[in-house]
Amino acid sequence: MFRLAAPDGQTYELQLVRVLKTMDQHVDQHRSRTRDTFSMYFQGPPQPYLPQATYSFSHDALGGPHHIFIVPTSRGQEGFLYEAVFT
């Protein structure tokens, strides 16, 4: 479980439910290179709704804090689904 520290001082647990990897072709003036890009999807609780923003995440195995920008993508019976895109 990941712990998200909200600006109001509350801490919420989010579960990593999926990681999708894609290849991105990056072109600049000097050279063309390929780099890995990926998205992480987190299942959050039904309440509260967390608007898109950068939040402080921590994890027992990965440490922290890690500042990650998340966007809510959908709401289901179990809560909100949030996406973080890394490029």
Does 14 reside within a domain?
yes
Judge if the upstream peptide bond of residue 46 is cis by omega within 30 degrees of 0: no
Does 23 reside within a domain?
yes
Does 1 reside within a domain?
yes
Average pLDDT, the chain: 90
The string of pLDDT tens digits covering residues 40-54 is 999 999 999 999 999
Residue 39 in contact with residue 20, Cβ under 8 Å? yes
Provide the residue range defining the domain that includes 26: 1-37+54-73
Does 45 reside within a domain?
no
Q: How many domains does the chain have?
A: 1
Residue 18 in contact with residue 41, Cβ under 8 Å? yes
Global confidence as pTM: 0.84
Cα separation, 81 vs 68, in Å, equals: 15
Does 80 reside within a domain?
no
Residues 6 or more apart whose Cβ sits within 8 Å of residue 9: none
